[in-house]
A and B are shown apart, each in its own frame.
Chain A
Amino acid sequence: MSSLRPFHALDLFRFNATNLDPLTENYDISFYLNYLARWPTYFCAVENARGRIMGYIMGKSEGHYTNWHGHVTALTVAPSYRRLGLAKMMMDELERVTDSVYRGYFVDLFVRVSNEIAIGMYEKLGYSVYRRVVEYYSGGAGFAGDEDAFDMRKPMSRDKKKESVRENGRDYHVSPEEVWF
Chain B
Amino acid sequence: MSSAPADRKNQMVRDQIEAGQFKQALQLCNRRIKKGEKTEYLWALKAFVLTQIPGPANAEEAEQLARTLSDKTPPVVATDVLGLLTRVWVQLEDTAEVLNVWERAVKSQPQNEDLARDWFFMAIRMEDWRGAQKAAMNLQTKHTKRRDYFFWAIVSCLLLHNSLPEGVPERKLFGTLAYRMIDKARNDTPADTTIIPARGIQTSQEINLMLELIPHINPQEADKLCLEVLNSNNLGVDSTVGSGDWWGLARKRLDLLEKTEDWKTLYALCKSLLPGGNSENGDSANGEQSKREITGRGDDWRVWKGFVQAAGKLYDAGDKSVSQEALEKIVNHRKIAAAGSSRNGDLALVKFASFFHDKSDGPEGTPTLQEAVEEYFDRICTKNCCFEDLQEYLEMLEDVEQQDFLKYVEKKIASMPQEMENQTIDAINAIINQQKFIYLTSISKLDTASPATTKTVTAFVTANIQIYTNALQLGTKLLVTDNQYGDDAALLSVMGLIRLFTLTPTDQAPLYQSIVILETLLQKSKHNYQALLLLVRLYLLIGSIGQAVTTYPRLNIKQVQNDTLSHYLTTRISTLLPNDRRVSVLISDALEIYDSSRAQSANMLQLGFERGGYAQMMGFIELSQRIAGSVCRTMGEIELHRISRLTSTPSPEHLQEVGVKGQVWDNRDFDVILNSELSSKPSFESTIRLGPKPAERWALSFAAVESIVDSLKTGTKPPYIDARVTEANGNGNASTVAAQDPSTIITLAINNDIESPPSDREFTSQEIQFLRLLTTISDLVTAVHKKSAESVTSLLEQQLLPSTLDSLPTETPDWSLLHTLWLTKDSCIVVALLVDFLRKHAAKVIKSNALTGLKEAAGKMKKDVEEKAREVVKELEDEEREQKLVDQVLSEEGVGKWLRKEEVWGGVEKVVERVGRVREGIREAVRGVSK
Contact = CB atoms under 8 A, between A and B. Distances in A.
Interface of A: 1-6, 8-10, 12-14, 16-17, 19-23, 26-30, 33-34, 36-38, 40-41, 48-50, 52, 79-85, 89, 92-93, 95-96, 98-101, 141-142, 156-157
Contact of A10 (B287, B600, B622): B622
A13 B669 contact: yes
Contacts of A38: 607, 611, 613
A96 B285 contact: yes
Given A1-B389, A10-B619, A28-B559, A33 B251 contact: no
A179 to B, nearest CB: 23
A34 B607 contact: yes
Given A13-B669, A29-B597, A40-B613, A8 B619 contact: yes
Size range of the interface on B?
Answer: 35 or more
A9 B389 contact: no
Interface in B604-622: 604, 607-608, 611, 613, 615-616, 619-620, 622
Nearest to A142: B481
B272 interface: no
A89 B244 CA distance: 18
A79 B527 CA distance: 11
Given A19-B561, A38-B611, A84 B527 contact: no
A96 B284 contact: yes
Contact of B672 (A20, A29, A41, A89): A20
B560 A3 contact: no
Contacts of A20: 529, 555, 561, 565, 672
Contacts of A95: 284-286
Given A5-B251, A28-B559, A85-B342, A92 B671 contact: no
Contacts of B611: 37-38
Contacts of A33: 600-601, 604, 607-608, 616, 620, 623
A41 to B, nearest CB: 5
Interface stretch (B73-81, B296-304, B860-868): B296-304
Contact of B248 (A6, A23, A29, A98): A6
Nearest to B560: A12
Interface in B309-345: 340-344
Nearest to A83: B383
Given A8-B619, A28-B600, A92-B284, 13 more contacts: A2-B300, A3-B302, A6-B248, A10-B623, A14-B669, A20-B565, A26-B558, A26-B561, A33-B616, A41-B245, A48-B385, A48-B389, A96-B285
B205 interface: yes
Nearest to A116: B479
B480 A142 contact: yes
A95 B251 CA distance: 19
A157 B300 contact: no
A49 B350 CA distance: 13
Contacts, number: 174
A30 B669 contact: no
7 contacts: A2-B301, A5-B302, A8-B619, A14-B564, A40-B245, A41-B244, A96-B285
A2 B344 CA distance: 7
Contacts of A101: 243-244
B561 A16 contact: yes
List the 7 closest pairs (A to B, CB-CB), nearest first. A9-B619, A95-B285, A37-B613, A1-B301, A20-B529, A30-B600, A26-B558
Contacts of B301: 1-3, 48-49
B443 to A, nearest CB: 20
B697 to A, nearest CB: 21
A63 to B, nearest CB: 18
Interface in B199-228: 204-205
B264 interface: no
Contacts of B556: 22, 26, 141
B470 interface: no
Contact of B340 (A5, A16, A36, A85): A85
Nearest to A6: B248
A101 B608 CA distance: 20
B384 to A, nearest CB: 5
Contact of B565 (A16, A48, A82, A99): A16
A98 B304 CA distance: 26
